[in-house]
Amino acid sequence: MLNRVKGRAGASRAGEPAVELSQVSAAIPRRTASEHVHYGHSARETSAVSTAANPDQGAFLAYLADADREYLFARGTRRQFRANDAVVMQGDPSDHVHVLVSGWVRVSSIVEDGREVLFGLRGPGEVLGDLAAVTGLPRTASVRAIEPCTVFQLTGAEFVDALHARPAIAIATIKTVAVRLRAAELARIDSAAFDVSRRVAVHLVRLAEEHGRRVREGVVIEAALSQADIAAQIGAARRTVARALAMLRQRGIVETGRRRILIRRPRVLRAFARSEADTEAALRPPGPTYSSSAPPGPTSTSTGSSAPC
């Protein structure tokens, strides 16, 4: 937890609200070893996952000590975005860097044929726009708020100065970029190695590991992802993704609803994603709760491109 300091972030900027650094720190708690998802290692097949900054998944602030966080926040200006607001636009020459304090955003690009490629979600503790600040080149992706968000904004020059002044901030930036590159490589491997059903399963496993939270029924992913979003991220047609999700629902593995996905059988989902030998047996509905004539979970799927998955 950050110690309360006398200065207020952004106090030197005209017209910007002053913010106590301790208030920002409270929104980004540190993650402990017990807060990670470990599929198949507990009686309930789940363990807690916080949506706080996660160093295993590349959340920038989680790599920083309190003093380095304070250094950044003291130079930043707090900004708030409503759901669907554009935080960053592809091609924009601006070089502002945003450190996400609360809320979720989606990162995507429009390619030459007009299709949107979704790179992923970013949550509390993530840094946005760091590459543009370092390279000075136009932005290659757009960032849009999924829900109300709070960020701390620094100019590109302020961020680069921080990289020079604080080696720990530079190292945290390098680690964050490295994790993103690794995720991109894994996505390419998945695309070449698996059919769409398994790519959907792999994607859900990763979402659970990065953004999941333990509940009594399993692991819940509270992100406003549509079937079209998942399709864009794994490089598949929305209808094919809808069929894969329907199969997982019918077997009681997942339950989908507006703004959330509940993974009821994490161990089974992971076995399917890994193409393990006992997958067929694992995919059978568990126990007498489900009958073959009435599989669990909803059976209808939305046909709209923006329908929740």
**Mean confidence (pLDDT) of the chain:** 74
What whole-number distance in Å separates Cα of residue 55 and Cα of residue 118? 22
Please tell me the predicted confidence (pLDDT) of residue 58: 59
Please tell me the predicted confidence (pLDDT) of residue 114: 84
105-151: pLDDT as tens digits: 999 998 888 888 888 888 889 999 998 899 988 898 999 998 899 99
238-264: pLDDT as tens digits: 899 999 999 999 999 999 887 678 999
Task: Please name which of 173, 259, 167, 255 lies closest in space to residue 218, comparing C-alpha atoms.
Answer: 255
Is-contact 270 39, C-beta < 8 A? yes
Please tell me the predicted confidence (pLDDT) of residue 18: 42
What burial class does residue 266 get, using C-beta atoms within 10 Å of its C-beta: 0-12 exposed, 13-18 middle, 19+ buried?
A: buried
What whole-number distance in Å separates Cα of residue 224 and Cα of residue 308? 7
Please state which CATH number belongs to domain 33-51+195-309: 1.10.10.10
For tokens 């190695």, the residue is: 193
Please tell me the predicted confidence (pLDDT) of residue 88: 92
Q: How far is CA 280 from CA 269, 276, 277, 294, in A?
A: 11, 9, 8, 19
Give the three-state DSSP class for 276: coil
Average pLDDT over residues 53-65: 74
Give the confidence band of 184 by pLDDT, cuts at 50, 70, 90.
Answer: confident
Q: Quick one: what percent of the chain has pLDDT higher than 90?
A: 33
Q: How far is CA 173 from CA 23, 111, 127, 236, 257, in A?
A: 23, 26, 8, 31, 35
Superfamily of segment(s) 64-190: Jelly Rolls (2.60.120.10)
Whether the pLDDT of residue 2 is over 80: the answer is no
Please tell me the predicted confidence (pLDDT) of residue 194: 73
The two beta strands, 97-102 and 149-154, are antiparallel
Give the confidence band of 187 by pLDDT, cuts at 50, 70, 90.
Answer: confident
Please tell me the predicted confidence (pLDDT) of residue 117: 82
Is-contact 18 4, C-beta < 8 A? no
Q: Where are the domains of the chain?
A: 33-51+195-309, 64-190
Q: What token pair was written down for 41?
A: 């290692």
